[in-house]
Structure 1
C-alpha cells in the first residue's frame, strides 16, 4: 500500500501547478502539507513545520509512509486550489520569495499566507498596504557606528512619498527626508551582525549613494517596512501610469544586489598598490567601500553596454603583481584592475559584468548614468 500511495503522489506532481513549490515556485517539490494539500520544496516545508501541526502537517513524498485517506485529501486539492484560496488577494507589489531570498522573507511569507491569512482577508494587510507607516527601528550611526532607536515615518506627499527619520522622540523636524523615488531596500542579515532582521536602505543624495542600515527586534516588523516601501512606490507608479499593467508597475520596485564581496583594487596609476575594498554590484551601478557598512562608497562606477566602450577581461596589461586572480573592468573613463581571492569569485564577477554589458540599458539606466556623471 505504501508503494502504491507513493506512486500516486508522484503522479499528482504532474498535475498543473504541482510540479513547483506552492509558495516559492522552486521546481520539483518533495514535500506535501497533508491538510492543506500543497506541494512544497524542502525550505518552505521547514517554514510550514514552524507554523505548527494545527495549521500545516508536513510529510515527505519519498521518505514517509502515506495512508489512503491522506493521499485522497491531497488529490482533491493541489497547489492551484490552495493558491486560489490563500493567495486570492496577494498584492501585486508583494514579492514572492525565491530560493535565493533570505530565510526571513520566506518565513514571513508563509506565516502571512497560512497563519495570518493576509491574502484571504485584505484588512489584515494594514501594517504595510496603505502607503504610510510609522514606527521605531534601530539605525546605525554614520559616525559613531552604533545602533540607536529612531522614529521612522513613511509619508504621502503631493509629488510622491518620503521616508523620514527623527533623532529624538519629541522632534517635529526630521533629521532626514528621503524621496522614495530613488530608494532601494535589500535585506542585510549577513552585514548587520547584531541582529538578523536587518535592511540596507540606499538612496541618492548630493550626487552619491547613501546607505542606511537598520534593524528591528521583531522579524515581522522589518518585513512590514520592506513591503510598506514597496507598496508606497507602487501606489505612486499607479497614479503616474494609470493605464499600465500592475505586473509591469511592480517590476523593479526594489532590486536585490547582483553581487557583493571583497576584492583587491589597484589605484588609478599602475605604480599604485592593491587595496582591499567591499564591492557591491547594484544592477549597472558598481560601488566600492572600505567596509560593508560604510554609509557612503569611496567610488561609484556605471557599467554600460559593450558597444559604449565597456568590457571585462582576465588579467591586466602591463601590470606586475603577485596577485593570482586578476581581471580588468574596462570603462570609457579608466580601467579598473581588480583581484579576487579565488578563481570561483573571479569568474562570478566577470560573468556578472559580461551579462550587464550585453544587455541594452533602459531609460532608468541612462538616468543613473546622468546622475553619476553630474557628480564626477
Structure 2
C-alpha cells in the first residue's frame, strides 16, 4: 500500500508541470485523482461513513502524418495512441453496506492496480477508426447533464450494464475491440463498435482472472458485444437527438425459468436540449431524457429511464461551478421473485477551487434499494475531491 502511494505520488509530482514535446497537441502525461467520502442515513442502518479513492494515470502520445490523395479536397490523416493505468483503493458504499442496484458512486470498483485502456487510432477530418482495449461508456450513451452527477445510472445506463456480462466494456474493465466513428458538417454523426463479450473473463463476475487488466481471452462462450449509435444535432439548434442499439452473441438465461436464449439485445433513445447559453460557459443550462429497454425473457432490467438538468455559473462570483439534479428509475423484468424497481434522486454541486481542483458535495435519496419490493429507502451523502494533474 505504502509503495503504491509513493509510486503514484512521485508520478503525480512529475506530471504537475509536464514538459512540452514537439509535434504533440497535449502533454505526454496527465492524470486525475478522485477521492470520495460518503455517509448513509437509513432508519435500519443508522449513520455510516466510508472513504474510497480512485486514481488514474493517463499517458497520451499523438503523432500526425498528412496523406494527400490525387484530388482537390485533400484531407490529412493522423495517427494517435493512448494508454492509461487505473488504481482503485478502498470500498465504496454500494459494496460495503448499501447493496443498491444502480450503483451510488461511479468511481466504485474492485480494488486493484491495472492497465486500464489503451488504443491506436487513425482519423481524418470527419472519421476515425480506433482499436485496442476500449471503454464503450466513454463514447456511447453519454449526456452532458448526466456527466455532472455521481450515481452510475446517469453514466453507463442500467438498461445495458444490468443486462450484459459484467456490465459490458465500461468502467472499470476495458475490453478488446474496435470502433469506427463518423460525423458531417450538417450535424449528423454515427459510430459503431465490437468488443470482447466479457472484459473480466469470468461469467461469475470474479475479478481475479483479469485483476490487473493484462489478461485478454477471446472465446465463443464469452461472445461478442456490439453497439451502434446515430446522432443528430441540427446546426444552430439547441437540440440533440441520439438513438442506439446493442447486442451480445453469448447465451443468456431466462431470469425466471432458467431457459437459455441465444443472443441478447436492446435499444435506447436520448433527447438533449440546451436551455440557455453555450455548453461549458457561464450561464449555460442543459437537460436530457434517456430511455432504454430490453426483452425481459433474458434480462434483469426490462427498462430504465433517467433525466437530469445541469447549470454552470449561475452565480456571478462562481462562474465555473456546476449544479445538477437528476432522477433515474430502473424497472426489473416481470416475473422476478421479489423484484420491483430502484429509483434515485440526486442533487450535486461541483465547486471549482481552481482549474485543476474541485469539491463536489452530493446527496442522493435511493428508493427500493436492491430493486426489491421490500427494499429500504436511504439517504446518501457524498463529498468528492477531484484533482487533475
* Structure with max Cα Rg: 1
Q: Give the structure, 1 or 2, with the largest relative contact order (CA under 8 Å, sep 6 or more).
A: 2
TM-score relative to the length of structure 2: 0.25
TM-score relative to the length of structure 1: 0.25
User: Which has more strand, going by share of residues?
Assistant: 2
User: Which has more helix, going by share of residues?
Assistant: 1
